Amino acid sequence: MTRHLRSDVDLNPQEYLRVLDLAQQLKRHPEHYRDKLKGRSIAVIFSKQSTRTRVSFEVGIWQMGGQPLILTSSGSTGMQMGRGESTHDTAKVMARYVDAIAIRTFGQNEVDELAKHAGIPIVNALTDLYHPCQALADTLTLRERFGETRGLKLVYVGAGNNVAHSLMLAGPRAGYDVVVACPREVPPRPRVLKRAQEDAKRFKTRVRVERDVHKAVKGAHAIYTDTWVSMGQDSEADALRQKLQDYQVNAALMEEARPDAIFLHCLPAHRGEEVLDEVMDGRWSAVFDQAENRLHVQKALLLLLLGIESWS
């Protein structure tokens, strides 16, 4: 059966931890995996601009001996799916050429359609609904800083977006609690929250939404934020900044968490808006370790989804 990472729910807790274990091995001993993708071609499709996703996938595939194909869905050199070719037809054609596809796009439906029709592994490299590769990198960073993830408390501060959604689903799978501190006007999607809370109950963790950011960060091991204005939200920018102005992460807020708390951000950061320099460059910051970990978890994911490494 072909395995995919359409969203975080495609991994059960044991599989989630297996990705982290393998990512740590890849990080420590990359030379042991140098030829694991020899003879394999991986397409990485972009409908959105990217720095970390593009570089980490392209470098990671190359480091394991594979051929990365970086493709766009628009512009003069873009794929035909940017000019109206169906996702169904794109999936069928690409499956004849490549061994797996990672895609960074807007609609979750594109990822799901590719997975339905391609017959090769599909990796969600970001949609407007989920960002599972990022959540894996975040969880690996927590493990590196605290030794293990079970029993930790992560507080996400800001609008209930794709990053918040994946963190809410990642927490139960890795054993940590997640609190989303957000204004009433920009909550997480109800169906994602419902699924996350069902998973949390099953896996004995907690996921909740909190309006009071100061109450939320008490006892936090990690405080996490994201840009207030995501790609495609330019028309809402001023309104979003107004709603989120009381949710800025600064040194005073970090001091309200645990003494050993860390700061996380998926990047790019808009310094002076959602976070201040005193935090980004301060003693709490783990953002650049976090960014590096995208490379390692994505390499692990590809090896597992392609069946090159075992899930057990």
Q: Which of 4, 294, 296, 298 is catalytic?
A: 294
40: annotated active-site residue: no
Residues 179 and 276 in one domain: yes
Same domain? 104 vs 140: no
pLDDT the model gives residue 236? 78
Q: Are residues 300 and 262 in the same domain?
A: no
Asked whether residue 266 falls in the same domain as residue 299, the answer is no
Q: Which of 221, 266, 290, 298 is catalytic?
A: 266
Is 294 one of the annotated active-site residues of the chain? yes
CA distance 178 to 192: 13
The enclosing domain of 27 has a CATH number of 3.40.50.1370
How many domains are there within the chain?
2
Q: What is the predicted pLDDT for the residue at 235?
A: 63
Assess whether 131 carries a catalytic annotation: yes
Point out the least confidently predicted range of 157-161, 176-180, 208-212, 232-236. 232-236
CA neighbours within 13 Å on the CB side: how many for 237?
8
DSSP 8-state assignment for residue 194:
H
pLDDT tens across 200-213, in order? 999 999 999 999 99
Q: Are residues 256 and 271 in the same domain?
A: yes
- CA gyration radius for the chain? 19
pLDDT digits (tens, 9 = 90+) for 254-281: 999 999 999 999 999 999 999 999 999 9
* The one catalytic residue among 4, 40, 52, 131: 131
| Residue 109 lies in domain | 8-130+294-305
Model's pTM, two decimal places? Answer: 0.96
41 contacts 69 by C-beta, under 8 angstroms: yes
CA 256 – CA 199 distance, rounded (Å): 28
Same domain membership, residue 282 and residue 140: yes
Tokens representing residue 41 in the block: 């071609």
- Which residue in 268, 261, 297 sits closest to 282, CA to CA? 261
Q: Which of 4, 18, 134, 143 is catalytic?
A: 134
Exposed, middle or buried by CB within 10 Å (0-12, 13-18, 19+), for 113?
middle
Q: What is the DSSP letter of 188?
A: P
Q: Please confirm, yes or no, whether 52 is among the known catalytic residues.
A: no
Residues 79 and 164 in one domain: no
- Determine, yes or no, domain membership for 272: yes
Distance CA 238, CA 308 (A): 47
Tell me, yes or no, whether 311 lies in a domain: no
Q: Distances in Å between the alpha carbon of 162 and those of 26, 131, 214, 224, 295?
A: 27, 6, 23, 13, 20
Residue 266 appears among annotated catalytic residues:
yes
Residue 83's pLDDT is 66
Of the residues 4, 199, 226, 290, only one is catalytic, namely 226
User: 62-104, pLDDT tens digit by residue?
Assistant: 999 999 999 997 765 677 765 678 999 999 999 999 999 999 9
In this structure, the answer to whether residues 75 and 219 fall within a common structural domain is no
Catalytic residue among 104, 165, 173, 296: 104
Task: Assess whether 23 and 91 both reside in one domain.
Answer: yes
